[in-house]
Structure 1
Amino acid sequence: MASSALPSAISAPRLLALRPRVVAAYAATAGPTAMLALPFSVYLPPYIAEGGVIPVALVGLLFSLTTIWDGVVDPLIGTMVDRVRTGLGAHRRWMLIALAPLGLLLLALVMVGDRLSFAALFLMMVLFYSSFSLYEVAQLSWGSALVRTPADSALLYGMRDWFAKIALILAFAAPAAAQLLMPSISLQGRIIAYASLFLLLAPVAIYAIARVPRRRVVAEAGIGWRREIRASFGFPPLMLLFGVQFLNSFAFGSLTSLFVFFADAVLGLDAQSAVLLFASFVGGALASPVWTFLARRFGKPPMMIGMALLISTLLVATLGQTPRGLAQATLFSLTLGTGFVGLLFIHSMLADLIPRDAERCGRSRAAFLFALLNLMQKFGVAAAIAVSYAMLDLVGFDPRDGAVAARALHLLFALQPTASWAAMVVLLLLMRRDFARDHPLAIAAARK
């Protein structure tokens, strides 16, 4: 991040492209939080419930409360990164500060999490997710300080997304490999196998952090929360981007929350649901570099519209021709996963907007805006889970006998995310003029 002073114009020859080693190093810093995102929410709830200390009904409440906590703490973390411990290398200091408690709390959760009381576990998870948010917000805002053109931002966040997909593949593969090698391994053993990847990715991240160019963070007086909110609402492209983030996360959350039921009741592949989920992330890893190239060549909103149309077409097509057998279902999941790259576009679009926001506000709010963007993602996923389960109840779906309402489940699985992506496309069309490929982006000065 940088000072809020902006140049009146920057000539194209002076804009230096990012070096490949900088892009690679920055992407590698995403490993620890990438592996602890989706897989952690998949494995942790059943692990806690299996312990028997906390009733199953309270496990859902526990995760709902931590989501509410995120809603309070994320903007505060963003403000803290923008205004506290400033100077050269402030981003990396925050990331290193967050990494130690993140690792220690992860160890505690996987070793004794199933034996803790509700209050103790809630406190531990609050600290864990706060450390997670601190690392991720500092890392994302550091990226916005490195880029100087829309092509830069597409490349940097595209490669970050690609590395995150690789980390997710490893995270889902570790428990499966442990179970394959030791068929009688417990759920805790599988979670320990998954969490042990942190021991690999954390040192890689520390090594990479030291090789990403430092950027100065200049502390500037706040403009007050009322003006902060007014400045955000008065910048339409920013509000549209937050809407895009919410709708994309809602659509993605709808798919993930219904996928296991869909694999069982519609595809008849309950025992292979983990394989299908794994295949979707392999598809994402294979496609991320391609989407990155297309975003740099044709612009981000058009490519994100293309992504939404691709996934929606695949989902609607299953209503006419359902994949049959493991081979077809795996191919479907692999192809579907090629579209799970929304954050590639959204993060880089916010990086493009940050200099313009700084012009409006008189100071840079990079970390604060990335924190709000993350918050929209969490709210979108939480809303998707709530709506999906409410709709399942409305159509009379019973997980113990899914075949009875399989058609209703199939319609919900295909049409709920499609409707969300359709609404997102409308917002993206409104944003196109603000993100035209040849838009003269003014970039903050003093990024040295």
Structure 2
Amino acid sequence: MKSNAKTKVKTSALIFYGLLGLPLAMAALPVYVQIPNYYTAQLGLPLATTGLVLFFARMFDTVQDPFIGQLVDKFGSSNRSWIVISAALLCLTFAGLWLPPAFARDSTTLLLIWLGVMLSLAYTAHSMLNIAYLAWGSSLENPSATNDSQQDTAYHQLLGASAWREAFGMIGVILASIIPSWIILQDKSSATTQLSQYAIGFTVLVVIAICALLIGAARPLCRSVHAVIALSTLLKNAQFVALLRIYFFNSLSVAIPASLILFFINDRIQAPEKTALFLSSYFIAGACGLPLWVKLAKRIGAQLSWQLGMLIAVLSFVSASLLGAGDGYVFLLVCIASGLALGADLALPPVLLTVVVNDKQNMGAYFGLWSLIGKFTLALAGLSLSLLALLNYQPNQVNQTNGLLALTFTYAVLPCAFKLIALFLLRHFSKSISS
């Protein structure tokens, strides 16, 4: 289905487009949040070396994203072979991360190598599929729209595509936060079987979503012959560069607590049995808040809406720094408040990116660089594990005053500082884009 400036994309076509956001989010959450804790607390890997493996695997992922973005532009975001191959690789590596073979489990060195290889392949597959997916959604806007009515329709289509993508993504992260957390709490004899079933279920969801995307989704606009765009050309767009700075600090403020939340729940709040409740409430709040952020963005603009989301996030994480053992229900409120703010972080930045970039033929390259920034912050966040090890924090030990203080500062206080920097830059960006 092709869109134009006079015809709105049908809601059903946007739903079919958004469905792939569900398994993509399911793959992202375990890799960034649950896998570090799973391999250290459950499989016994040392914290410091695991942090280094995470850092180097994520740095590899960071470097490759611009090249993947160029390839997406070359072959087209709707290239069936590209999408099917990347989806198949994602399914295989998803299973490999959760189900390391027996020979790897018997050796710390082999398990570290297995983790590094599976992470690198999973990152590659996820980037291949996700960048093409984002470029597909951004190409629903018609660059020939000239009058205010046509441009308003195009902008609302972008918000609609982003809203459905992130709404399904929220469902994905809710599933991924509840199911593995519940499985890990079971005895080890049955956990392997249940994790296998989880990996199979993930594969089924990917197949359904890929079929929906290729058969029923809104089609991206026809493209002209692609010429590789240089990095220097991308960086000549001053508004794009300004938005990248905001995205860097905001992503870092999200990536650090995402890497440490399970450690914070286990050792600071001391309520590991409520892990699924905390994670699911966070993402359910995000899912409920997502349509509100989209609606608010249509009324007051994406910039102001995102600023409000940042303020809510800062207030909630400052509150988390004051909590300790036995404050589980208060932390639940923190999860809900910060989850509401998450919807703004998910839905609004890609819309702003599409607004400031007029070159719709090279959106893969722009999203590749955009993804590079996000992945680089995740790599930096992986080093937070090594930092905590240097500060004498040890997982699953509740009687370590200095270690728990270091955990609280790194999990709750440091992200607030980065979020405030992002808020300051966004306010400046909003003034420059409106002038």
SS in 1 for 2:429: helix
Give the whole-Å Cα distance in 2 for the aligned partners of 1:57 and 1:313. Answer: 31
Q: Which residue of 2 aligns with 1:17?
A: 8
Q: Distance in 1 between matches of 2:102 and 2:38?
A: 6
How far has the Cα of 1:230 moved from its partner? 2.3
Which of 219, 228, 233 is matched with 1:222 structurally?
Answer: 228
- Report the counterpart of residue 123 of structure 2 in structure 1: 129
Secondary structure, in 3 states, of the residue corresponding to 2:269? coil
Change (3 A) 1:384 1:132: closer
2:179 is paired with a residue of what secondary structure?
Answer: helix
Q: 1:188 to 1:57 in 2, by over 3 A?
A: farther
1:244 CA displacement: 1.8
* Amino acid of the structure 2 residue aligned with 1:151: H
Sort the Cα spacing of 1:198 and 1:218 in 2 relative to 1 into closer, same or farther, 3 A.
farther
Q: Secondary structure at the match of 1:288?
A: helix
Counterpart-to-counterpart distance in 1, 2:71 and 2:216: 24
The Cα shift of 1:132 comes to 1.6
Q: How does 1:8-407 map to 2 (within 5 A)?
A: 14-45=5-36, 58-84=49-75, 86=76, 90-113=78-101, 115-116=103-104, 117=110, 122-148=116-142, 149-178=154-183, 183=187, 185-209=189-213, 210-215=215-220, 216-223=222-229, 228-318=230-320, 325-341=327-343, 342-355=345-358, 358=359, 364-387=361-384, 389-390=386-387, 393-394=390-391, 397-399=393-395, 400-401=397-398, 404-405=401-402, 406-407=404-405
Q: Please, what is the CA RMSD of the aligned residues?
A: 3.2
Contact 1:300 1:435 in 2 (8 A): no
Q: Is the 8 A contact 1:67 1:378 kept in 2?
A: yes
Query: What is the aligned partner in structure 1 of residue 408 from structure 2?
Result: 410
8 Å CA contact 2:91–2:202 kept in 1: the answer is yes
Distance in 1 of aligned mates of 2:197 and 2:332: 24
Q: CA deviation at 1:159?
A: 2.0
Query: Which amino acid letter does the alignment assign opposite residue 207 of structure 2?
Result: P
Q: Is contact 1:32–1:202 with CA below 8 Å preserved after alignment?
A: yes
TM-score normalised per structure 2:
0.82
Offset, 1:420: 0.7
Q: 1:340 to 1:123 in 2, by over 3 A?
A: same
Tell me the secondary structure at the aligned position of residue 196 of structure 1: helix
Distance 2:35 2:316 in 1: 30
Bigger drift between 256-265 and 164-173 goes to 256-265
Please state how far the C-alpha of 1:139 moved relative to its aligned partner. Answer: 0.5
Determine helix, strand or coil for the equivalent of 1:36.
Answer: helix
Which whole-Å CA distance do the structure 2 matches of 1:413 and 1:57 have between them? 17
- Measure, in 2, the Cα distance between the counterparts of 1:284 and 1:37: 16
Identity across the alignment (%): 25
Unaligned 5+ segments in structure 1 are 3-9, 440-448
Q: What SS is found at the alignment partner of 2:139?
A: helix
